[in-house]
Amino acid sequence: MNSKNMHSRIIVLYIDDDEFEHELLRRSILKSGENLELISVFDIPSALPVLDNNFVDLVMLDNRLQSETSFCESVPKIKSTGYSGPISIVSSYLSDTLQEEFNDSEVEFLCDKENLNAATILNQLAQRFDNSYHFKAS
């Protein structure tokens, strides 16, 4: 476990305005047996107090929330809380335009929603923190 992660679970904040996507990810995490805790919110205003009051290992952010036109508007709001951990943008369509925005951003990961699962979360954290996040729930 990374020294910054002082709790026993990996905490993921998932920001998506589609309730179905939250349920899919929650089921994937439960099925995996990994020691992951998912905090689900549906918009940026709901995410900000979570980031202010909790240690979060990874933020997974839907590319297009109803209240934002793209992640380019959401990410600065997330970072304004002082959060400096990894951010993963999730999208159901990885267009060339999205890839260009991603390349020009301060965001670390871009993920197709088809591949959004516990293994993807652990892989992204391992890439960021030198494999120190790989552990199974006991």
Q: How does pLDDT run across 11-69, given as a tens digit for each residue?
A: 999 999 999 999 999 999 999 988 899 999 999 999 999 999 878 999 999 988 887 67
The helix-helix angle for 118-128 and 19-32 (nearest 10°) equals 80
Cα distance between residue 126 and residue 15, in whole Å: 21
Contacts of 128 (CB under 8 A, 6+ apart): 85, 86, 108
Q: What token pair was written down for 40?
A: 């689900």
Predicted model pTM: 0.84
Contacts of 123 (CB under 8 A, 6+ apart): none
The confidence band for 104, taking pLDDT boundaries of 50, 70 and 90, is confident
Name the nearest CA neighbour of 1 among 108, 135, 101, 136. 135
Strand partners, 36: 10
